[in-house]
């Protein structure tokens, strides 16, 4: 298993945002994480990526205990993520955003740059340009904050991929995308998985989840209420109840 969560919990005051959630995600697949709004999906992602500390339970990545590691340490180990609602460095250029994403894979070149003729990051810039091309971003020197929303989402994915992760967590990547963009995102995820990346996909676009995920876990009120293949999840009465309310179940 690449990522294992062992009964992890997080409380905010009296609210159990995440309650004793178990997850076991094997390498080389898209793993879906769905649930109604407020189910605790984003809190779970913040726990896995180190932005929040768990109150209880343990997280293992690639066999090692990473429960208490900070975000920057997890990025160095190969966990990258995007944010719900996009958090780009808006005042930096598109290319600079991706270069910042490569931070953990670059040696500091501050001292070498003091020598006037040094261009120490040429290879990194080439890598970044390749990523931009792959994501269909054509204006490397435009300010990130000035991009259309769909482009901002793709740039955030490019930035996350720049750290050469083994696990990529996408928090609602298709929000704000039109159907064509969403289809391209699906193709991209499939191609990345074929290159041995593992993806955790949080998404409300049911179609996208069903099309890409091998397994899906469902959260409701902080608890995992179901896990299985997309077909099993679609057939589950428990899941339908969570989304629609009990009285609507036929």
Partner 1 sequence: MDALAEFFRVYQTTIGVIGINALLALSIWITLYAGQLTLGNAAFMAIGAYGAALLGMRAGVPLPLGLALGALLSAALALPLGLAVFRLRGVYLAIATIGFGEVVRVVLLTLPFTGKALGLNGIPPITELWHIYLSLAVVAYMLWRIQGSTVGRALAAIREDEMAAASQGIRVRRYKLAAFVAGAAIAAWAGGLSAHLNFSIEPGDFGFTRAVQILVFAVVGGTPSVAGPIFGATLLTALPEILRPLKEYRDIFAGLILMGVIIYLPRGLVTLAELRKTRRLQEIGAADVA
Closest approach, Cβ 240 to partner 1, in A, equals: 34
Q: Which of residues 13-52 bind partner 1 (CB under 8 A)?
A: 49, 51
How many chain residues touch partner 1 (CB under 8 A)? 37
Q: Which of residues 54-93 bind partner 1 (CB under 8 A)?
A: 70-72, 75-76, 80-81, 83, 87-92
Instruction: Indicate if the alpha-carbon torsion angle 141, 170, 195, 193 is positive or negative.
Output: negative
**Of 148, 153, 139, 132, residue with least CA distance to 93:** 139
* Site membership for partner 1, residue 246 (CB under 8 A): no
Q: Which of residues 103-132 bind partner 1 (CB under 8 A)?
A: 103-104, 106-110, 113-114, 116, 121
* Site membership for partner 1, residue 166 (CB under 8 A): no
Whole-angstrom distance, CA of residue 46 vs CA of residue 114:
38
**Of 7, 3, 26, 37, residue with least CA distance to 172:** 37
Q: Closer CB to partner 1, residue 101 or residue 222?
A: 101
Sheet arrangement for strand 30-34: 79-81, 167-171, 198-202, 30-34, 215-220, 223-228
- The count of other CB atoms within 10 Å of the CB of residue 220 is 19
Q: Closer CB to partner 1, residue 21 or residue 169?
A: 169
Closest approach, Cβ 132 to partner 1, in A, equals: 16
Residue-wise DSSP of 73-101: HHHHHTEEE--TT----TTSBHHHHHHHH
> Which residues contact partner 1 by CB under 8 A?
49, 51, 70-72, 75-76, 80-81, 83, 87-92, 96, 99-101, 103-104, 106-110, 113-114, 116, 121, 139, 142-143, 146, 159, 163
């Amino acid at each position: 298993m690449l990522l294992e969560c062992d009964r992890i919990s997080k409380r905010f005051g009296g609210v159990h945002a995440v309650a004793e959630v178990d997850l076991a995600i094997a390498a080389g697949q898209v793993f879906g994480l769905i649930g109604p709004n407020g189910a605790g999906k984003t809190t779970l992602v913040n726990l896995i990526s180190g932005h929040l500390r768990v109150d209880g339970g343990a997280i293992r990545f690639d066999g090692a205990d990473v429960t208490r590691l900070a975000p920057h340490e997890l990025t160095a180990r190969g966990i990258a993520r995007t944010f719900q609602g996009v958090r780009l460095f808006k005042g930096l250029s598109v290319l600079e955003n991706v270069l910042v994403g490569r931070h953990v894979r670059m040696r500091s070149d501050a001292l070498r740059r003091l020598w006037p003729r040094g261009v120490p990051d040429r290879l990194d810039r080439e890598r970044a340009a390749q990523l931009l091309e792959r994501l269909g971003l054509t204006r490397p020197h435009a300010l990130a904050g000035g991009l259309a929303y769909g482009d901002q989402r793709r740039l955030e994915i490019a930035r996350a991929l720049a750290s050469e992760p083994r696990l990529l967590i996408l928090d609602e990547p298709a929000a704000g995308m039109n159907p064509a963009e969403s289809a391209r995102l699906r193709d991209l995820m499939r191609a990345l998985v074929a290159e041995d990346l593992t993806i955790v996909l949080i998404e409300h676009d049911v179609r996208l989840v069903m099309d890409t995920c091998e397994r899906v876990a469902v959260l409701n009120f902080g608890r995992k209420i179901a896990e299985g293949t997309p077909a099993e999840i679609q057939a589950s009465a428990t899941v339908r109840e969570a989304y629609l309310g009990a009285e609507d179940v036929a």
